[in-house]
Structure 1
Amino acid sequence: MKHGAPKSPLQLMYRVYKYVLPEVEHLLDGWTRRAEAIPDRELRTQALASIASKKFHCQGGAVYAAASLNNRHVLTPLIVALQTISDYLDNLCDRSTSLDPDDFRLLHQSMLDAVDLDATPRDYYALRREHDDGGYLLALVETCRGSIAQLPSYLQVKRQVIDLVGLYADLQVHKHIRKDLREPRLLKWWEEKRHSYPHLQWNEFAAATGSTLGMFMLFLAAAHTGLQQKDADMIRDAYFPHVCGLHILLDYLIDQEEDRQGGDLNFCNYYVNQSEMVNRIGNIVQNAREDVRVLPAAPFHRMVIEGLLALYLSDPKVRKQRDVKRISRQLMRKSPLTRVFFWLNSVYIRAKQYRLSVG
């Protein structure tokens, strides 16, 4: 069996069906059992809801473990645990009983501690009313740390991973505070960063910081010996901001109605009109494709980009929103066969999981 990155869509989807989906399912079953035992009702509710509604985040992220089958026993638990922290905290902040930025900052310190073996884990709930999670969040943090300790080249990627997690934490703080303060905080943040990304709009930079894909790609690279510091810098720049930005803009695109109802900030609402949105996302797709050409196993990373478009644009939420459906059709127009192949597989996987959930 070849264990390098898959070179074709068929090879990738074979690994997804044979390894990724069942192994992620097994790991999430374990985290679900842990979540069911959380003593605090609110924390238990949000932990279980984040796993149930955002499972596809872990499934998509674990594709990076499919690129190195020999290392998937380390990569899959790491990716699932870090993504589960991300999704759990997102739920806690989105539906929060608090609007305290210090509370949100302390919660997200768990992600920073999860990727920094020199850090000392702490009480991440110290600034909020709900405290007793029965050790759930700490167990997720320790799972990440245990996996990272097994990555031979982690020291070479540590700085870039911490940088991306830090940006992610900054975003979560800024976007979940009191509604009248969110945009001013985000715009002030953008003023500090815009010199590095002058071709982006502020909402596109903010979206890019919300992605975990750059972190997962750096984990994949760190699973191999002989990685150089310059390789880690190249990977970070190949993924951030365009691949990461595409990931989260697509996520926001399909969540527009849901965010309107929940009163949540949505970065796709800051385009002047639908035409600008389609053009800007289309440009980010092209930039992402260009960026990953410098990476080893470039065909795999191109498949990730096509897979992102297929995964999000095939989501059932698209059909329920007329404007989003129209935008989806425009983005899917003249799609390469790879994207169409992943689109069909995404539809099939969702339908199969739905049948299992109701059966």
Structure 2
Amino acid sequence: MHTKSLLAGHSPRGPISLMKRVYKYILPEVRAELNRWRAIANAIPDPELRKQALDSMNAKQFHCEGGGVYAAANLEQRHILIPLIVALQTISDYLDNLCDRSTSLDPDDFRLLHQSMLDAVTPEAPTANYYSFRVEQDDGGYLLALVMKCRNSIAALPSYEYVQKHVRELVQLYADLQVYKHITHSKREQELLNWWGIHSARYPQLKWNEFAAATGSTLGMFMLFLAASDSSLDAHQAETIKESYFPSICGLHILLDYLIDQAEDEIGGDLNFCSYYENQQMLNERMGQMVLAARKSADELPFGHFHRMIVEGLVALYLSDPKVRDQREVRKTAKLLMKGSPWTRLFFWLNSYWIRKAM
């Protein structure tokens, strides 16, 4: 495939050079960007919106740090990629908090809130009052500022025209998931199954809960931003990247997230896509297959070594989480998934552990 030339000479060659870039550039610059948004969020007039904006950044900082790793594959463009990734991920985390810990269960409210995410990746679209369907209104321009930061960054990407439709598709799926996932408990499962009915023919290899999980990942969007930072990108390459990331790498990402959150989701009555397997053995089998599918997709991509590091890094990041230790069944799954791990995954496991300790 001629896509091998994409980002040639930019991407780190191995785990050590990747982590050097992460420690030296990515983590400090992501944190500086988040601090800027924290200062703006601190001035939000409405107390509920202010609380959710600050809570989402404080509790989910690692989402932005993980997303920022994509900028390590093109350091020369990181001044565009890091603010863009941080702004879009911050919108996502803020809206997740607004829907999750919400004063509303209105699907129209959730849909309109997430329109901001679609508008952020569609520079030509008009903006709206995204809070129209809720009591809390005055965020002092915070959400709109995030939307505009995404748009301004996107305007500086040389090849965005080739990825825009794919980014929009992934954001639309993400928004759909957030709507169905957060409505009244009695309705959400049926809505998710109806939604799967629309998409199931395209993804015969998946179960409905795996498709839903895959739509919850922002990694495909970030990879498309990275690809668009290279002026040599073409339409075929953009499509290949989207299809390689979604659903396999995106699905693995979010299923790992749900895997380690099982205990707290059960306590909180939150929906968890790992709870829909018939038994533990089926969960372990499907998780193992997701790891293999994600690796295969990574290896087929341009600069496959980088994507392979992303996959091994995901497994390491989630399975090194302290939550794993407290859940007997999750510990067993983790052991199975780490069995025969390549040294890169073990290397990332140690780094994930170290970064957590240092935070």
Letter in 2 for 1:319: R
Give the corresponding residue for 1:254: 260
Secondary structure in structure 1 of the residue aligned to 2:139: coil
Determine if the alignment matches structure 1 residue 173 to structure 2 residue 186. no
SS for the counterpart of 1:62 is helix
Partner of residue 40, structure 2: 34
User: Aligned partner of 2:199: which letter?
Assistant: K
Shift in Å, 1:3: 5.8
* 1:253 maps to amino acid: L
User: For residues 142 and 205 of structure 1, what CA distance do their matches in structure 2 show?
Assistant: 30
C-alpha distance in structure 1 between counterparts of 2:65 and 2:304, whole Å: 21
Judge conservation of contact 2:68–2:82 (CA < 8 Å) in 1: yes
> Which residue number in structure 1 is paired with residue 125 of structure 2?
119
Q: 1 CA distance for matches of 2:152 and 2:195? A: 33
**What one-letter code is carried by the residue in structure 1 that aligns with 2:197?**
E
2:315 alignment partner in structure 1: 309
* Paired AA for residue 215 in structure 2: T
Partners in 2 of 1:321 and 1:33 — Cα distance?
Answer: 37
Q: Which residue of 2 aligns with 1:344?
A: 350
Sequence identity, in percent? 63
Which one-letter code corresponds to 1:308 in the other structure?
L
Instruction: Summarize the alignment of residues 277-356 of structure 1 with structure 2, pairs less than 5 Å apart.
Output: 277-353=283-359
- Aligned-residue offset at 1:226: 2.4
Equivalent residues of 1:7, 1:297 under 8 A apart: no
Following the alignment from structure 1 to structure 2, what is the Cα–Cα distance between the partners of residues 178 and 217? 33
> Do 2:298 and 2:311's aligned partners in 1 also have CA atoms closer than 8 Å?
no
Q: Which residue pairs with 1:25 in the alignment? A: 31
Determine the C-alpha separation between the residues in 1 that align with 2:150 and 2:166. 16
| Counterpart position of 2:188 | 182
Pairing partner for 1:12 from 14, 18, 21? 18
Unaligned runs of 5+ in 2: 1-7
Q: Once the two structures are superposed, what CA deviation does each residue of 1:36-65 show, in whole Å capped at 9, x if it has no partner?
A: 111111111111111111111100001100
Amino acid at match of 2:196: W
Question: Counterparts of 1:84-233 in structure 2 under 5 Å?
Answer: 84-233=90-239
TM-score by length of 1: 0.97
Once the two structures are TM-superposed, the CA of residue 218 in structure 1 deviates from its matched residue by 0.4
Q: For 1:268 and 1:35, how far apart are their aligned partners in 2?
A: 33
Q: Does 1:234 align with 2:240?
A: yes
Per-residue CA deviations over 1:269-313 (Å, capped at 9, x if unaligned) read: 001111111110110111111112222110000000000000111
- The alignment's C-alpha RMSD in Å is 1.0
- Once residues 9 and 65 of structure 2 are traced to their aligned partners in structure 1, the CA distance between those partners, rounded to angstroms, is 19
Supply the AA of the counterpart residue of 2:357. A
Aligned partners of 1:24 and 1:9: how far apart in 2?
20
| Number of the residue aligned with 1:356 | none
Task: State the SS of the aligned residue for 1:240.
Answer: helix
Distance 1:283 1:101 in 2: 34
Does the CA contact (< 8 Å) of 1:3 and 1:70 recur in 2?
Answer: no
- TM-score norm. by structure 2 comes to 0.97
Distance 2:322 2:116 in 1: 32
Q: CA deviation at 1:125?
A: 0.3
Looking at structure 2, the residues matched to 278 and 48 of structure 1 have their Cα atoms a distance apart, in angstroms, of 36
Listed as ranges, the gaps of 5+ residues in structure 1 are: 354-359
- More contact order relative to length (CA 8 Å, sep ≥ 6): 2
Counterpart of 1:271, as a letter, is Y
In structure 1, C-alpha distance between the alignment counterparts of 2:213 and 2:190, rounded to whole Å? 16
- Whole-angstrom CA distance in 2 between matches of 1:323 and 1:138: 43
Paired residues in the alignment total: 352
Kindly state the Cα deviation for residue 160 of structure 1 after the two structures are TM-superposed.
0.4
Higher mean displacement: 152-161 or 330-339:
330-339
Cα deviation for residue 316 of structure 1 reads 1.3
Corresponding letter in the other structure for 1:263:
G
